[in-house]
Amino acid sequence: MSQEFEPTILAFVCNWCTYTAADLAGTSRMVQQPNLRLVRMMCTGMVDPKYIVKSLLSGADGVLVSGCHPGDCHYINGNYKARRRVKLLNEILPQFGIEKERVKLTWVGASEGNEFAATVNNFINEIRELGPMEARSMAVV
């Protein structure tokens, strides 16, 4: 892919775990690429598939959903529901040429600032490799 392509990544992160980890990564001054836009949700169980679809159609090249580890969800099972929804999108989006690598689900706990920074950096690099979303250049949304 072209050298100039800089991906835009949208991340839906739960308030209790991954957002806290993101905060920690920031306050610990870890080196992070500037491609990420964070959306704080109360729980990954709140991430309706349409948020992810809309993001990908509206300029995001990749979407990260990240919440508490299994067993740690503050609403008991929101992360398990999120897993089914991401699984569902994994089945739908590739049928239209949207690589399933563009939607990533991870569990990052509140104390895992390092893991958060690494997750995001890796994801950005992966998407940079993959290239821009087709929707970026389409007149149709």
Partner 1 sequence: MATTAKIQIDGSGPIPALQGFLRGLLENETLGGIMVPVHLFGKGLPMPTLVTDPEQLSGADPLAPAFPMNSAKLLSRLTRGQSGERIAAVMRPCEIRAFVELVKLNQGSMDDIILVGMDCMGAFDNVAYKQFLGDDEPFEKTMEFYKMSANGGVDIAPACKACEYPAPANADIVIGVAGADLSDHIPVMATSPRGESLLNGLGLPETSAAGRDEALEAMVAKRTATRDEMFERTRAATGTLSDLSEYLSACVNCYNCRVACPVCYCKECVFNTDVFEHKPWQYMGWAKRKGSLKMPTDTVFYHLTRMAHMSMACVGCGQCSNACPNDIPVMELFRTVAARTQESFDYVPGRSLDEAPPLSVFKEDEFQETVSHMV
- The answer to whether 46 and 79 are in contact (CB under 8 A) is no
Binding stretches for ligand FES (CB under 6 A): 14, 16-17, 43-45, 67-68, 73-75, 78-79
CA of residue 121 relative to chain centroid, distance: 11
Quick one: what does residue 87 bind among partner 1, ligand FES, none, with the CB cut-off 5 to 8 Å set by partner type? partner 1
How many CB atoms neighbour CB 12 within 10 A?
A: 24
Residue 11 has which token pair?
A: 């991340």
- Residue whose CB is less far from partner 1, 20 or 65: 65
Please say whether the dihedral angle defined by the alpha carbons of residues 77, 79, 83 and 84, taken in this order, is positive or negative.
positive
- Residue whose CB is less far from ligand FES, 81 or 136: 81
Quick one: what does residue 16 bind among ligand FES, partner 1, none, with the CB cut-off 5 to 8 Å set by partner type? ligand FES
Q: How far apart are CA 84 and CA 94, in angstroms?
A: 16
CB of 105 to partner 1, least distance (A): 5
Quick one: what does residue 50 bind among partner 1, ligand FES, none, with the CB cut-off 5 to 8 Å set by partner type? partner 1
CB of 3 to partner 1, least distance (A): 21
CB of 87 to partner 1, least distance (A): 5
Q: Please choose, from the candidates 4, 6, 2, the residue with its C-alpha nearest in 3D space to the C-alpha of residue 125.
A: 6
- The answer to whether 103 and 62 are in contact (CB under 8 A) is yes
CB of 7 to partner 1, least distance (A): 16
